[in-house]
Structure 1
Amino acid sequence: MKIEQIHHVAYRCKDAKETVEWYGKMLNMGFILAIAEDHVPSTHEPDPYMHIFLDAGNGNVLAFFELPTKPEMGRDPNTPKWVQHIAFKVKDRDELIKFKDHLEANGVEVLGVTDHSIFHSIYFFDPNGHRIELACPDPAEEEMLGKLDAVKWEMLEEWSKTKKAPKHADWLHAKELGKS
């Protein structure tokens, strides 16, 4: 048995139409389809919803539910905002900068470009409060991924015992922290 790929990832949205329009305008995602029901098919509970699906490229689908009868959306207060996010890959740094400029020109506050060594990222929030990351590979990504692959199990084992960050990959953010 093996998973082939993610079929779709679903989040909640405040307004389905606003979400479709925002993702279309800001990230050039096409609107694939909408499903609306008065009952949840899996649980059979009465609960009207609008379920929208967006094209995130390469067969990846980002979906949202608008739930008008439920209390206003919230966040897990125990999870920092930077943790839970949706990350999308873009071709290269030039494309990343074009998105940054486009987002900022349309009033979206953007954090970054952040250099993670293996990739570079920008961060921003959609109109629903979901954090979005756009990331592009670093030209030396393949070599660095090999170095990370070689220590992943040691790092995981050390973390599971100590709950302290192992130092096997300190080099990843050394430039950012002035240690290069």
Structure 2
Amino acid sequence: MKIDRIHHVAYRCKDARETVLWYRDNLNMDFVLAIAEDLVPSTKAPDPYMHVFLDAGNGNVLAFFELPTQPPMGRDPNTPEWVQHIAFKVKDRAELLEFKAHLEGRGVPVLGVTDHGAFHSIYFFDPNGHRVELACPDPEEEAMLKKLDAVKWDMLEDWSKTKRAPKHAAFLHARELGASS
């Protein structure tokens, strides 16, 4: 047995229409499907909802639930904002910079470009407070991913024992450190 791919990823939203329009206008995602029910199909609980689906490219689907009878949505107060996010891949750095300019031109505050070694990212929040990342491959991505693959189990084992960041992949930020010294 093996998972084929993610069917969809679902988040909660404050307003389904606002969310669909935001993702369409800011990230060029197509609105592909809406489902609304008064009962939750799996539990039969009476809980009306609107479930919207957006095309995130290559068969990937991003979905949202608007739940008007539930308390306002919030965040896990014990998890920093930067941890929970969804990341989308874009073709290259030129497209990443084009998205950055597009988002900023529409009044969306953008953090980055951040160089992660194997890829580069920008970060921003959608109207629901979900953190979104756009990432593009680094020109040296393939070589860096091979190096990361070679050390992943050692890193995991060292982390499990010490709960401190192992230095096996320090090469990822070597360029960044070299540029600032």
Query: Do the two structures share a fold, i.e. TM-score over 0.5?
Result: yes
Task: Count residues in correspondence.
Answer: 180
Partner of 1:126: 126
Distance in 2 (CA, whole Å) between partners of 1:99 and 1:123 is 11
Shift in Å at residue 50 of structure 1? 0.1
- RMSD of aligned residue pairs (Cα, Å): 1.0
Query: Could you give the per-residue CA deviations for residues 78-127 of structure 1, whole angstroms, max 9, x where no partner exists?
Result: 00000000000000000000000000000000000000110000000000
Shift in Å at residue 176 of structure 1? 2.9
Partner of 2:61: 61
Helix, strand or coil at the partner of 1:69: coil
Helix, strand or coil at the partner of 1:176: helix
Distance in 2 (CA, whole Å) between partners of 1:152 and 1:19 is 37
Partner of 1:99: 99
Query: TM-score, normalization: structure 2?
Result: 0.97
Shift in Å at residue 175 of structure 1? 3.0
Partner of 2:39: 39
Distance in 1 (CA, whole Å) between partners of 2:153 and 2:11 is 31
Query: Could you give the per-residue CA deviations for residues 40-75 of structure 1, whole angstroms, max 9, x where no partner exists?
Result: 000000000000000000000000000000011100
Distance in 2 (CA, whole Å) between partners of 1:125 and 1:175 is 28
Off by >2 Å, runs of 4+ in structure 1: 174-180
Partner of 1:86: 86
Partner of 2:162: 162
Helix, strand or coil at the partner of 1:12: strand
Distance in 2 (CA, whole Å) between partners of 1:124 and 1:61 is 19
Partner of 1:145: 145
Query: Could you give the per-residue CA deviations for residues 19-47 of structure 1, whole angstroms, max 9, x where no partner exists?
Result: 00000000000000100000000000000
Distance in 1 (CA, whole Å) between partners of 2:82 and 2:172 is 18
- The percent identity for this pair of structures is 80
Query: What residue identity is the alignment partner of 1:52?
Result: V
Query: Could you give the per-residue CA deviations for residues 141-177 of structure 1, whole angstroms, max 9, x where no partner exists?
Result: 0001000000000000000011000000011123334
Asked whether 1:51 is paired with 2:41, we answer no
Structure 1: tracts of 5 or more residues without a match: none
Query: What residue identity is the alignment partner of 2:86?
Result: I
Partner of 2:114: 114
Query: What residue identity is the alignment partner of 1:121?
Result: S
Query: TM-score, normalization: structure 1?
Result: 0.98
Distance in 2 (CA, whole Å) between partners of 1:169 and 1:140 is 15
